[in-house]
Chains A and B, each alone.
Chain A
């Protein structure tokens, strides 16, 4: 199955009733229509990929490079451009410059990966950011109830020098980063209104931009579901 992708905008969450009467939490995404603004092949770029653009931007607020780039595809300037890496040039042949990509590109696909920018949480301590347990509430603990504890002695992690191991989990800025949620169930596709309904939550706030693509690797249970379809 060649990779398929689409750009979208998160609209919000609601509930969805299944045929058997159970209801599930779902996210409604306004997916596409996108425009193919560039097709990359091994001959021209050294790898195969297709660039999609989504959401009209005002020409007045767009930069000349963007206006020029999108004009090549015969499109008005767009706000978001994302690239979908393809396996080989053969996959890229399916795309032409200026081609419209709608949510019907995901027809028949059961699971998708959704990438977005998560909500910013500000500066957070280790308990919130890394799920540390903090310290005792009593037993003589004073003013250290939420502290991370020891971060390592001289050279314990690295072996040399008075430095910490890289990537040591500490307090700091949380959220507002690129997050991918893998293997979300596709619940419904509305080709008339360009809407995609997926099960569960997706990163970011409403109106945030999302990149939706066929899954790179499914979770085991979902892979079984797909195999046994």
Chain B
């Protein structure tokens, strides 16, 4: 039995559906809704920042989000399949020509910004609509228009 495959199968129940996230990629500014448990109370904290790295596969997949708080860079690594990560919203899409944007750590001021993706949020909305139709027509997923959104969704 293939070892890696067996592990993946074991954990398949732990994985979130690929469609539970909007299509996002490195360079995007995203809102990460993360559940914080204080005693027996639970609240959702939103961490907004630039997605600078995606790592790991399967249940080990993580995202690294960087933001500036009080002139100090803060990076948080979220396990993508954690039950505490309830939602991801894409705020702004940007062009990234690297898979890992660690060079942003050295940047200050205006050079910290990334170039907006030409299609901007308009493209994102279309992509989201595409995933919605895919979700709605689950059996007919094969016939769904092979647009940008679907491609991204399956990749993520």
Is the CB–CB distance between A11 and B84 below 8 Å? Answer: no
Contact B10 A28 (CB under 8 A): yes
Roughly how many angstroms separate A11 CA and B10 CA in the complex, as a whole number?
A: 11
The answer on a CB contact under 8 Å between A16 and B7 is: no
Complexed CA–CA distance, A85 and B47 (Å): 55
Interface string of B1-36 (1 = CB under 8 A from A): 101101101110010000000000000000000010
**Segment among A137-145, A170-178, A190-198 that sits at the interface with chain B:** A190-198
**Interfacial chain A residues near B7, Cβ < 8 Å:** 11-12, 14, 28
Look across to chain A and name the residue whose beta carbon is closest to the beta carbon of B35: A21
Cβ contact within 8 Å between B6 and A193: yes
The residues of B that contact A28 with a CB separation of less than 8 Å are 6-7, 10
Of all chain A residues, which has the CB nearest B86? A21
Kindly state whether residue A99 has any CB partner on chain B within 8 Å. Answer: no
For B11, the chain A residues whose CB sits under 8 A away are 14, 16
Q: Are B4 and A21 in contact (CB under 8 A)?
A: no
For residue B48, CB closer than 8 A to chain A, the reply is no
Given A23-B82, A30-B1, also A17-B59 (CB < 8 A) = yes
Task: Name the one of A23, A197, A207 contacting B3, with C-beta atoms under 8 angstroms.
Answer: A207
CA distance in complex: A188, B10 (Å): 10
Chain A 174-217 residues near chain B, CB threshold 8 A: 188, 190, 193, 195, 197, 206-207
Report the bound CA distance from A172 to B37 in whole Å.
Answer: 49
A190 adjacent to B10 (CB under 8 Å): yes
Q: A28-B7, A206-B3, A207-B3 are in contact. Are A14 and B60 (CB under 8 A)?
A: yes
B120 within 8 A of A: no
Q: A16 touching B14 by the CB < 8 A rule?
A: yes
**CA of A193 to CA of B6 in the docked complex: distance in angstroms?**
9
Chain B residues whose C-beta falls within 8 Å of the C-beta of A195 in the assembled complex = 6, 10
Chain A CB within 10 Å, residue with most, of B7, B14, B81, B84:
B7
* In the complex, chain A residues whose CB is within 8 Å of the CB of B58: 14
CA distance A19 to B14 in the complex (A): 10
A30 → chain B closest CB, angstroms: 7
Q: How far is the CA of A190 from the CA of B10 in the complex (A)?
A: 8
Q: From A11, A16, A20, give the contact of B6 (CB < 8 A).
A: A11
Question: Which residues of the partner chain B approach A158 to less than 8 Å between Cβ atoms?
Answer: none
B147 within 8 A of A: no
Q: Which residue on chain A has the smallest CB distance to residue B79? A: A23
Cβ contact within 8 Å between A12 and B4? yes
Cβ distance B67 to chain A, nearest Cβ, rounded Å: 22
A residues 10-32 touching B (CB-CB < 8 Å):
11-12, 14-17, 19-21, 23, 28, 30
Q: How far is the CB of A8 from chain B (nearest CB, A)?
A: 12
Give the contacts of B61-86 with A (CB-CB under 8 A): 79, 81-84
In the complex, the 3 A-B pairs of residues with the closest C-beta atoms, listed nearest first: A21-B84, A21-B83, A11-B3
What are 8 pairs between A and B in contact, CB < 8 Å? A12-B3, A14-B58, A15-B79, A16-B11, A17-B14, A17-B82, A30-B6, A197-B10
Interface, chain A (partner B; CB < 8 A): 11-12, 14-17, 19-21, 23, 28, 30, 188, 190, 193, 195, 197, 206-207
